[in-house]
Amino acid sequence: DGGITQSPKYLFRKEGQNVTLSCEQNLNHDAMYWYRQDPGQGLRLIYYSQIVNDFQKGDIAEGYSVSREKKESFPLTVTSAQKNPTAFYLCASSIVPGQKSNTEAFFGQGTRLTVV
Amino acid sequence: AQSVAQPEDQVNVAEGNPLTVKCTYSVSGNPYLFWYVQYPNRGLQFLLKYITGDNLVKGSYGFEAEFNKSQTSFHLKKPSALVSDSALYFCAVRSNTGFQKLVFGTGTRLLVSP
């Protein structure tokens, strides 16, 4: 069953803690993305990666970090430097857009992070 | 820079009636346009995408979208709404520079009443 798996579905973080959100895909996609969703603001790009061991900052990368050690995996760490981390986080993957510009992205089911 | 506007925060329609969810875009060059749907606490599901040359695009669950180049619009339509269509709908455009990332609108909540 191909797709993108995000875990956990719900995550609670205490002030000052780092937390890591998992994202795994078995679609054989080279490109992977992390988006943050807040009510009324749509989706904002945090980080993206086109290939293993390479990733780029998106529009709101401050307070976040990522790694891409394997093609299938793109974990996101929300650090204590992120001042307002409570949000819904979505991971996605696709063919690298430069290869096919009208390619769609496929999304995981999301992780809801709450600071307590 | 590319952008997408969804002018309506919410659209209300009665079951059985046609629905339209509006989207306008701004991008230089050829537009690559997409519609996604999101149900509560779920990820985004791909509905349809614009393919060059086809002004009426058909997608999943009976949805279609009309591309209008002169009005820079890509409105989502369905001839007969279902209560189960109630969800959050996002329009997106892929930029044609650099990495060609997807840029999303702010979303439109569709509420279909019985």
A17-55 pLDDT per residue, tens: 999 999 999 999 999 999 999 988 889 999 999 999 999
Task: Tell whether B90 is within 8 A of chain A (Cβ).
Answer: yes
Interface test with A, best of B54, B89, B101, B106 (most A CBs within 10 A): B101
Summarize the confidence of residues A55-65 as an average pLDDT: 95
Looking at beta carbons, which residues of chain B come within 8 Å of A98? 99-100
Q: In the numeric block, which tokens belong to residue A39?
A: 């009510």
Greatest alpha-carbon pair distance for chain B in Å reads 46
Reported as a single tens digit per residue, the pLDDT across B33-91 is: 999 999 988 899 999 999 787 899 999 999 999 999 999 999 999 999 999 999 999 99
pLDDT for the residue numbered B2: 84
Task: Tell whether B5 is within 8 A of chain A (Cβ).
Answer: no
Query: What's the rounded Cα separation, in Å, for the pair A37 and A60?
Result: 11
Task: Tell whether A110 is within 8 A of chain B (Cβ).
Answer: yes
Query: What's the rounded Cα separation, in Å, for the pair B42 and A73?
Result: 20
Reported as a single tens digit per residue, the pLDDT across B10-49 is: 999 999 999 999 999 998 878 889 999 999 888 999 999 9
Backbone angles phi, psi at B95, to 5 degrees: -65, 155
pLDDT for the residue numbered B24: 97
Q: Is the dihedral of CA A93, A72, A89, B59 positive or negative?
A: positive
pLDDT for the residue numbered B98: 66
Summarize the confidence of residues A64-74 as an average pLDDT: 97
pLDDT for the residue numbered A68: 97
